[in-house]
Structure 1
Amino acid sequence: MSVTEQAVRAREAARILAGTPRAAKDAGLQAMADALAKAETAVLDANALDVARAGNNGTSASLIDRLRLTPDRIAGMVQGLRDLAGLPDPVGDVVRGWTNANGVQVRQVRVPFGVVGIIYEARPNVTADAGGICLKSGNAALLRGSSSAAESNTAIVEALRAGLAASDLPTDAVQLIPGPREVTAELMAARGLVDVLIPRGGAGLIDAVVRNSQVPVIETGVGNCHLFVDASADHDTALAILLNAKTQRPSVCNAVETLLVHADSADAFLPAALAALADAGVTVHGDDRTAAYGEVVPATETDFTDEYLSLDIAVAVVDDLDGALAHIRRYSTGHSETIITESQRSAQRFTDEVDAAAVLVNASSRFVDGGEFGFGAEIGISTQKLHARGPMGLPEMTSTKYVVVGSGQVR
């Protein structure tokens, strides 16, 4: 089946979903969760094939971590679908409304996009998350996963479609787009059939979709995330947050990639921090000032621009808050930026001046996640400024339309 044929079927499914009440969508999510839980063995077997192939192809450890599924991760996917069922339905929400002097009533109402295409690398959990979020928000999902996760994605989509069939919802509300690289170009060219595209993956994938798509794109971004230890920081707090943000799961976009340390904190903080990072298996790429406090790999320019997605971190000592802000302005990808400080003034300046989708004060960047924010699963983290920014949950997967009600008024 061609991408065009799949998109046409998705549009019909989206037409049905647009008028489907919340209770029916929630029942569908629960049925999808049940079917995915029942298919755990089949999904793990399929995933094992993908992981083995990736290992044979020399895939990096960080990408294999993104690809790998475990019983706990599948349980998280199942719970994510159930959590979505418990969340409010954004469709039909009145964003604003008023009555004009002539008695005409105007309401701006949330409505589904229609057909949402998601192009993503590795991370088969995205398959379940995206399918569930799109269903709850009344959208049909066209899923174009990478070849590295082909077996896993196929098994997951089979389970999700079985759940949809069991709940009498259109199975074409969730479709996987298989095939060679060329079909991705077909999806990006499906303007008029696909309403919006969302890329999730590395910088190369995102850039290719943004540059080449004829379909409107919500841009998710890579996470060159910084953590700044201010002069007034509590060093125990800073160290705990640093280790969590870097090592809890280094292969994800909200992991910290650069540590900036105020010069006034360096003597007391950096020796302990470098030792703790080394104990955790983290390779430190440090500037000249950092090298005075411990053994580091000399940092190059690319060490401060790259998203490692591994147990590596760039470290620099800055003169002051202004120096930290300047460094972040230069190198940030606009994802998540953190300050550790006891100074309310420093915290306020940081939150006011840092241009990012999420700014954190005395908290780990690992909290920048749809599930942690209470959104249920997320469709991605947007680093653009139009329509949606930050973790995208259900409301971000809707557009609006104006409903105008009169009693015969004419202009």
Structure 2
Amino acid sequence: MPPVESKTVKANTLTATTSAPAALVLEDGRIFRGTSYGATGTALGEAVFATGMTGYQETITDPSYAHQLVVQTAPHIGNTGVNDEDAESRRIWVAGYIVRDAARRPSNWRSERSLDEELVAQGIVGIQGVDTRAITRHLREHKTMRAGIFSGEAAEATDKELVDAVLASAPMEGSRLAEEVSVDKAFVVEPKDHGWDGEPRFTIAAIDLGIKAMTPVRFAERGVRVHVLPATATLEDVKAVNPDGFFMSNGPGDPATADAQVSLLRSVLDEKLPYFGICFGNQILGRALGFGTYKLRYGHRGINQPVMDRRTGKVEITSQNHGFAVDAPLEGATQAPEARYGRVEVSHISLNDDVVEGLACLDIPAFSVQYHPEAAAGPHDAAYLFDRFIDLMADTKNADTNPATDNKTEDKK
């Protein structure tokens, strides 16, 4: 038998019509057998499940899925093919892809090629023909875990060799991945390129920790010029663009490793620059305020996650992708452990498990949410958060211009 390698191997280009034997192997020894989908070879990572009924192209191109093997709980995948417009980043980021029934051929007027062809072209190893409901139930009961997809010759190894290869791979805890998926050079997204008629209303510095393409677009549509900066940006880099606000994006990895970004955010908060963070940016705000973070058993991934905005009582159906959460008191305002930042409250909670879904600072202009208001491919219940940040920047700017104005950082909406 050929040896099993402990790293991802981008191999042959077998398609769904000529698929080879494949196996999904979990670190606890559970094995699911099917046939190859996409490229053949070996893919190692953390097995997670995503519950979206649509938007698979946006899912696999979301950088937050780096180093993860994504199980799609929806049974039919690939029906609408892929196109060059719907990708959320410059490439596919999932380490491997797991589906039940892969479409034999796409059928959609926007389709430019099949999902299988795209996986092959980008060297993404996948598996089809497995019971994704059973895999999801197993992960829900036992937690997300390291796993491997082995197809073609790699699948011919013994069960022990396959499990050993999985156990030799790196866990998600302790992984520092934002710098890996971030852009190398800064770029600007202009409002005029996205339907805004007139001069920009505000300028923000956005740190790319794994940012999705639609996020700066949502700002630009509202008249905000966005300077997207690398994950390694410094306070000097931020100040160089003369921003009215500061933003940190979603991204992969363990927030406990993001010391550089936490330090940067504290410097920004000390400058009283308005802040908005999503997903990883929420966890970084939590750490900057002095709270801890922890790993969830199986996380929140999909476009149907219910969240309550505790200030309005409204329930939003949200798009999420995270395996870590902030450990903060759920009831009422509390003094931030980093006392200089004043009071903070949990503004949003998950209605499935009471996980912290948002933080709001009461004495400085800063707030964050754990989910994705840009919502590609939907839903759009949380789009108001972009407007909330614009209001926060406007209030802060007005207070700076008119010091006598009673500037409250609490949201009006």
Q: TM-score, normalised by structure 2?
A: 0.26
- Of structures 1 and 2, the larger Rg is shown by 1
Q: Which has the higher contact order (CA 8 A, sep 6+)?
A: 1
Q: TM-score, normalised by structure 1?
A: 0.26
Q: Whose strand fraction is larger, Structure 1's or Structure 2's?
A: 2
Q: Whose helix fraction is larger, Structure 1's or Structure 2's?
A: 1
